[in-house]
Structure 1
Amino acid sequence: MSAPLQILLDRWRPALDLPIPGRFVVPPAARAAVLAGTLQNSDRPILAIVSGEREAEELAEDVELFTDSVYHLPAWETLPFEHVSPNVVTMGRRVVARHALTEGAPCIVVASVRSVTQRVSPTTIRPLLLAAGSDFPFDDLVATVTVMGYRRVDRCETRGDFSVRGGIIDIYPPNAAAPLRLDFYGDTLEGIRTFSASTQRSEDDLDSVSVFPARELLLDAAIRDRAEELRGDAPWAAETWDRIAAGVTFQGMESWLPWLANPRTVLDESDASVVLFDPVRCAERATDLIREETDLAQALSGTWGDDGSDSGRHPPLYLPLESDEVTTRLLEAPPHASGPGDDGYSIGTLDGVAGDPESIAAAINRWKDRDVSIVVAMDGEGAARRVSGLLSEAGADLPVVDTLTAIAPAVTPIGIHAGFVLPSAGFGVVGEQEVAGRRRAHRKLGKGTRKAQPDAYRDLNEGDYVVHHHHGIGRFAGLVHREIGGVERDYLLVEYAGEDKLYVPTDQLAAITRYTGGEAPRLSRMGGSDWTQTRARVRKEVTVVADQVVALHRKRAAASGHAFDPDTPWQHEFEAAFPFEETPDQ
């Protein structure tokens, strides 16, 4: 299926392509169309860089209107030195985008400065290609997906997990819309199907799949060897190097990437053409990232132990944006001319009054008389049909189409963040802002599978009650620095009944959750049976409630309901006019 507005690029001429390398003015509203048009005549990937992460997300969404060959390279949402792993979906999307850049086939990858300047892992980003009917040793496949960063569980429900049941491997790649079921007979892959993560029922058959790594940092032989070297070079983190050298995957291990990888970024990984939008803002953002990381390192250096650097010196996560190797394939694209010598694109405006159907219709007809086709991109089917009807009454007949099949004025139910009119290309796309006078909602909520992270220790106060999944209810007594087993590090101190104390390493926060009961609880005794008995009692009570819920649903299923009249067109239009993205419970 082609992109909704891809046919508009039939009017794109090679003379309109971005002149890479060099300098060329590109107004922000025209970036998506210009990138997609230039891609048609490119023989390599195009890496488009903008200053902010939200700006990158919106640009990638707008480019998707014109071409399917677009990827968003997101930045990690974690801070340097924060012992928390990035979201598995974020890492999965980064792996896919980086692979597209290194493969060399023409495509567009949109990234923020933070994403581009981040040090990359040297481990593989190549996918595992599987086809139904092919042979693949079963045990070797289990070992391979483990090395690729997937976590083995009993029931595969979350991205980045896999399970094994007899001759079936269930796996949920981070970039997949649904988990995959691999059905083996011996070492022959007999079938590949998607399945529902909630019901575990098989769904659609597939001929082949590409399974990408679940993490960016994989504990391969080279990384483990590097960890062995760091035992002597950085003994203050010997416990961490021991775990990595042993091939143990743990929460937050990505924060140690600067010590484990050479200083390389995505700019060094491929020979893609690079388009740097608003180079001044991008340069300022790159400088800010490096300064913020340095300040954070200096603030934390006191916790790195006697063998650590007391001045905050460290291998940086964020590297300079400049690269001599990129100069020959770099285009600087400022948003406006800085002088009479700057060439660039000229864009127009719709030149209609937002919210006034007669004015908008007249503007569309004026552009049509100049051989410029205007497409109105609205958010949702209801809004598109409403605008189409109003414009038709005002003298501009624009049909509603999901995918444009001819270059002519039309309305599409897929919105655009930044509307534009590009007279030199003979088309324009305008959206909610230009037609209705309201801003478009930023993005739709994804159906994430990541479980909520527990509260960090910084959100706890001394005296707060906490629950350890194994030892039960205790009292948080603060953050302490101790030498245990010859290694100095920070611990959460939890006090239990009978003056028992538990020291929880700060990289094992998943074991601790805040107590949310209404009254002050009784402290558990470490090693006692009270916590085990409490958990058993709760399980029994949950079983009773579950039986009651099942009985209630049986009663409801047997009852006669009341059938309401179907919604009227006015009701549908009213619902479609809701200007915000609905939350899952709505």
Structure 2
Amino acid sequence: MSFKVLTRLVAGVSQTLELRTLGVAPAVSAALVAQSTAGRRILVIVASEVEAETIAYDIASLQDGCNSYWLPAWDTVPFERVAPSMRTVGLRLRALSALQEKSESGVVVTASVRSALQRLAPSALDLERFSLHVGSSLPQVELVEFLLRNGYLREAQVSSPGEFAVRGSIVDLFPPDADSPIRADFFGDELDRLGIFDPGSQVTIDAIGEYEILPAREVLVDGRLRAGLEELAERAPVLGDRIRELLDGTSADPAESLLPLVLNHQATIPSDLLDEDDVVILAGGALLEAESIRLVADELSMTQALAPTWGIEATESTAGLLASFDHISESPAQSVLLTDDGADPHPLRIDHRDMTGFVERVGSFIRRGFRVIVTAESQARVRALTATFASFERYPIAIGADADPPETAGLYLLEGVRLYHSFIVETAKLVVVADTELVRPIANPRTPRRSPRTLSSTLDDLAPGTLVVHETYGIARYQGIVSRSLAEVERDYLLLEFGGKDKIYLPSDQTDRITLYVGGEDPALSRLGSREWSQQVRKARRAANEVAQELVVLYQKRLVTVGHAKEADTPWQDEMESAFPYELTPDQVIAIEEMKRDLEQPIPMDRMICGDVGFGKTEIAIRAAFKTIQSGNQVAILVPTTILAQQHYDTFRERFEPYGVKVGLLSRFVSGREVKRLKEELRLGTLDCLVATHALVSKEIDFKRLGLLVIDEEQRFGVQHKEFWKTRHPDLDVLTLSATPIPRTLELSLVGVRDMSLLRTPPLDRQPILTHVGPDDDAAISEAIRRELIRGGQVFYVHNRVRDIQSVARKVADLVPTARILIAHGQLPEHELERVVDDFWHRRADVLVCTTIIESGIDLPSVNTLIVDHAEDLGLGQLHQLRGRVGRSGQRAYAYLFYPRTKPLSVIALERLRTIVENTDLGSGYRIAMRDLELRGAGTFLGQRQSGHMSAVGYELYVRLVAEAVAQMKGDERIEVAEINIDLPISYSIPVSYVEEETVRMDLYRRLALACTDAEVTELAEELIDRFGPHPDVVANLIAMTRLKLTLIERGVHEVGSRRSARTGGMEVFLRPLELRPSEEVRLRRLPSRPSYRAIDHEVVVPFRPRDDLLALVGEIVMGSPNSRS
């Protein structure tokens, strides 16, 4: 997004400067060059990826109409058996395509020196594109051939970038540079419809008129690369099998791994894509050259370590992916060297921790006649900056993003603009301050990409061999969907295997009758015909009633307690919330609405926010706290670690400071004198919000008007900690946050005693973390750290024993001598630990060797590799939380979990590590909590009295029994789950020819079975057409059957079937029971189908012929009775 005021400022500056000698302020320098060289291609080269990304963002803001792109380097290294992430590929392809198209408005591409020197594959030098236009003549096969030729993988369903699917007339595809996948619907050889769809729901969300498709991969095994691979196979026979797999498309290894050995050219962007009309801007020539030399050496070291894994000799002659710096210095493009010898414009260095010094510098600039412009993205930041300059001689002047630039000296606040880099232009008497440099570092700008929800169904993990619970028949093993044909009627069934090899073919429209089995032990399969299952359910129901009595006491106590009803949102609440720099996910929006509704009630709130690591729970807590404070109450925030306490303190203080809200911190970082002051301010009510560790649980702490308790990482606290303040303040509102909730907490939520909000949508651009589990491996540790350093990132190395953590740090130093290493653990003196965290935060070190103290609290976008030794000693929840510390920036992240080679693992430890590897999907915290329940036993969480019954019937059924008992004791109206058996000679199914993937078919069957209204069925029917095309007859029958089923349930009918008439010998349909009054009976007999009614058993019978539409016939009978016409 560009801002006219900034563009006009740049235009004014350009008149005062010589563009051949500019200072090292890459963003504004590039904007100056772009403005004076319209239509040219400009390559900006900087030292690091972090700089490149933020500078590309700033260039777009500074220059109106400029096409600014970031070209990231690959997030992998040669010979690594992992392809670059699709996000990286998409960004690179978008930038390469822009360079090759030569836009009339010009193109600016910003790259790190590593990215600029990366050698390009032949396919990247000449990208193939494919244009889609609605209404154009286009055979579907041409699009499919393009996708196959350009690296797209054909799947049954598109969910990730680089995939495509074909279903009849529909082609779904997800270009790597797209924010959302694309759906193209053909009518013959014409493109009839084009739209974008949600990869989670698979439903089209918007129509578009045209789209240009780029390849899915930068490196394609096409004719140009194929020759190089064949030549390599002859030169290195040891690679023969792997190369043949690459050539025929069956290799699990990406072509990128071997690219350095295959390329017979040194093509790079500066040397091969630019010409003499273009410009290369170098942000410090000597610095970049030195960095390139280091990168080439590091890559060579990595290459030599990884090459032997392919059977290649680790010699110095092994090729690398990076070209020499000569490719930049000898580029045909014109060079502009940014120097640090005082030339304009140059960067303005700001320390966000010294705001007093910053204010003094601003005053000095203004006295010298400078215009000082401070950007402020939100109204809240304008308010905060106004407060910062409250003692200033002149009041700051606010200007809009589209205003004319100021011409006189003074302090100006530019609202609605975000910049990442501050700069000064001495000759133009101008200082521009990026607001982002005045606060703690935050994540870099990200191109939003729609993220699917992650907890869409309780049967997501259903696969053949999975244990399930059928509410009537008991525990069985699911063996898949099977099609059966009986008397020319074909349907799909779920095959369930019970004890004694008994089997049941469950009709696909009854999938709502089964749930996954979750329990603390491996149960025996139930035997059909035995009374054992009904007895187990009866015992579990009695136990559930006992538990329900306790829970209802808690619930009723909460209902009769008068709480603090908070006020409706104030203008300041809206303003503070608008300062949040990211887009809320749909689940966050719902959770915030639910939380505010609770707070505004006179009943104490008890709500849990359940969401995976990094899914946005803290933002909900911030809004709840501010709302409470605006209503005149105090807030306590209980957290498990000092590091998390410090982080929350910084975050809450930063967000609340513009509004005069006072935030305090209570942890071991705080001195005794400060603790005494905090206690006094809490007692007097002058402290509004306190962030604290376990020290909060003390009778010495007393609040004047405590209104809200926030418990973060709920699973880390014992019952006594959580209940301490609830007991002292029964009217307290409580908000609990958890990524891996303990089953006892889930139980309270699921049965209605505690309210729960689920955050199921991952943040935009978050990627699953690649997780490796294996025995200790120094070579792997060295490779992991070196790879991260080459990417310009940082590493967490977790060793959870303080006694020998120093020796582990020395080992890491020996493995990677160039790495800067710090040590952090809970026994460090408070100021030293604070210094270590601050140094690592500001990237003064590369590797933090630490204990699990980082499990909660350090959120650094630059940390994308986690190494854990002795992982077998950690719990599942701990491992999941630790893994959540990386991958928070959108970059590909890695987690290495090692165990000793010489130590045999216990079965439980082995299963824990296997579970963490199998659950790498975003939002897997809930599944991990359930698996932890199984591994550790239900008694650990629910108490021994409940655990046996839960194991006997499964967690989900047991919780449902408790919920039913609670509802009954609360006096809620009991809604019976209606069971109806419809057995008509009609074929209905979702055939494989229509929906190929069994898990998708299963999900659709279940959603249809759970549909409660005609509107839901209509929505599903439309979704099927949108995703898979027109309904085949059997699908249309299934939808009509589902609609009919809802009508029959509404009328109280339990059974519909067909039989041969004993009186006429013909076929007839029967329905029962259908209770009719005499007048209704008369009306029924007048229907054209001539039904009969037997009042004694309320049965309706109607004859039919083979060609009759039975669904319409039954519908006529039911709809023909007056009670159905409501």
TM-score (normalised: structure 2): 0.38
* Alpha-carbon distance in 2 for matches of 1:120, 1:228: 19
Deviation at 1:439, TM superposition (A): 4.3
* Alpha-carbon distance in 2 for matches of 1:193, 1:549: 45
Among 422, 428, 451, the residue aligned to 1:419: 422
* Alpha-carbon distance in 1 for matches of 2:52, 2:964: 50
Among 52, 58, 64, the residue aligned to 1:62: 58
Deviation at 1:35, TM superposition (A): 0.9
Deviation at 1:363, TM superposition (A): 5.9
Greater gyration radius: 2
1:10 equivalent in structure 2:
11
Among 88, 91, 114, the residue aligned to 1:90: 88
Native 8 Å contact 1:118 1:265 kept in 2? yes
2:767 equivalent in structure 1:
450
* Greater RCO (Cα-Cα under 8 Å, separation 6 or more): 1
State the one-letter code of the partner of 1:122.
Answer: P
Deviation at 1:215, TM superposition (A): 1.1
Deviation at 1:373, TM superposition (A): 4.2
Deviation at 1:452, TM superposition (A): 2.9
* Alpha-carbon distance in 1 for matches of 2:270, 2:959: 54
* Alpha-carbon distance in 1 for matches of 2:251, 2:32: 43
TM-score (normalised: structure 1): 0.70
Describe the SS at the equivalent of 1:91: helix
Q: Percent identity?
A: 24
Gaps of 5+ in 2: 407-411, 449-763, 775-779, 781-866, 873-897, 902-906, 908-916, 922-926, 936-950, 974-1126
Deviation at 1:430, TM superposition (A): 0.7
- 1:27-176 counterparts in 2 under 5 A? 27-28=24-25, 31-42=26-37, 43-67=39-63, 68-105=66-103, 106-123=106-123, 124-176=126-178
2:325 equivalent in structure 1:
321
Superposition CA RMSD, Å: 4.3
* Alpha-carbon distance in 1 for matches of 2:964, 2:399: 48
Native 8 Å contact 2:34 2:42 kept in 1? yes
Among 295, 303, 306, the residue aligned to 1:297: 303
Deviation at 1:374, TM superposition (A): 3.4
Bigger Cα displacement from structure 2, 178-187 vs 353-362 = 353-362
Relative to its length, the structure with more helix (as a share) is 2
* Alpha-carbon distance in 2 for matches of 1:545, 1:190: 51
Native 8 Å contact 2:46 2:282 kept in 1? yes
1:268 equivalent in structure 2:
271
* Alpha-carbon distance in 2 for matches of 1:285, 1:108: 22
Native 8 Å contact 1:297 1:312 kept in 2? no
Native 8 Å contact 1:131 1:189 kept in 2? yes
* Alpha-carbon distance in 1 for matches of 2:151, 2:45: 28
Deviations 1:18-65 (A, max 9, x none): 22xxxx35133xx21121121012142111111122221222222222
Describe the SS at the equivalent of 1:407: coil
* Alpha-carbon distance in 2 for matches of 1:351, 1:217: 41
Deviations 1:200-256 (A, max 9, x none): 222222221122212111122222233222221221111221022224464433111
Describe the SS at the equivalent of 2:36: coil
Deviation at 1:427, TM superposition (A): 4.1
Structure 2 CA distance for partners of 1:375 and 1:194, relative to 1, 3 Å: farther
Structure 2 CA distance for partners of 1:212 and 1:302, relative to 1, 3 Å: closer
Describe the SS at the equivalent of 2:771: coil
Describe the SS at the equivalent of 1:162: strand
* Alpha-carbon distance in 2 for matches of 1:220, 1:541: 53
Deviation at 1:320, TM superposition (A): 0.3
- 1:15-26 counterparts in 2 under 5 A? 16=17, 18-19=19-20, 24-26=21-23
Structure 2 CA distance for partners of 1:135 and 1:325, relative to 1, 3 Å: farther
* Alpha-carbon distance in 1 for matches of 2:934, 2:100: 57
* Alpha-carbon distance in 1 for matches of 2:305, 2:43: 35
Structure 2 CA distance for partners of 1:351 and 1:417, relative to 1, 3 Å: closer
State the one-letter code of the partner of 1:417.
Answer: Y
* Alpha-carbon distance in 1 for matches of 2:426, 2:372: 10
Structure 2 CA distance for partners of 1:180 and 1:11, relative to 1, 3 Å: same
State the one-letter code of the partner of 1:32.
Answer: A
* Alpha-carbon distance in 1 for matches of 2:435, 2:195: 40
* Alpha-carbon distance in 2 for matches of 1:544, 1:347: 66
How many positions carry a matched residue from both structures? 481
Is 1:218 equivalent to 2:220 in the alignment?
Answer: yes
Native 8 Å contact 2:154 2:164 kept in 1? yes
Among 361, 373, 376, the residue aligned to 2:374: 376
* Alpha-carbon distance in 2 for matches of 1:313, 1:144: 37
Describe the SS at the equivalent of 2:91: helix
* Alpha-carbon distance in 2 for matches of 1:164, 1:332: 51
* Alpha-carbon distance in 1 for matches of 2:366, 2:919: 64
Native 8 Å contact 1:83 1:253 kept in 2? no
* Alpha-carbon distance in 1 for matches of 2:42, 2:964: 59
Describe the SS at the equivalent of 2:427: coil
State the one-letter code of the partner of 1:270.
Answer: L
- 1:363-442 counterparts in 2 under 5 A? 366=367, 370=369, 373-388=371-386, 394=392, 395-399=394-398, 401=400, 403-408=401-406, 409-425=412-428, 427-432=430-435, 437-442=438-443
Structure 2 CA distance for partners of 1:137 and 1:433, relative to 1, 3 Å: closer
2:341 equivalent in structure 1:
336
Describe the SS at the equivalent of 1:455: strand
Deviation at 1:366, TM superposition (A): 4.7
- 1:532-543 counterparts in 2 under 5 A? none
Native 8 Å contact 1:148 1:215 kept in 2? yes
* Alpha-carbon distance in 2 for matches of 1:477, 1:7: 60
* Alpha-carbon distance in 1 for matches of 2:268, 2:870: 42
Is 1:288 equivalent to 2:285 in the alignment?
Answer: no
Native 8 Å contact 2:90 2:178 kept in 1? no
Gaps of 5+ in 1: 338-343, 465-475, 480-495, 497-508, 522-537, 560-586
Native 8 Å contact 2:16 2:428 kept in 1? no
* Alpha-carbon distance in 2 for matches of 1:389, 1:430: 16
Native 8 Å contact 2:50 2:444 kept in 1? no
* Alpha-carbon distance in 2 for matches of 1:463, 1:8: 55
Structure 2 CA distance for partners of 1:192 and 1:512, relative to 1, 3 Å: closer
Native 8 Å contact 1:46 1:275 kept in 2? yes
Bigger Cα displacement from structure 2, 355-364 vs 447-456 = 355-364
Native 8 Å contact 2:153 2:162 kept in 1? yes
State the one-letter code of the partner of 2:769.
Answer: A
Structure 2 CA distance for partners of 1:296 and 1:374, relative to 1, 3 Å: same
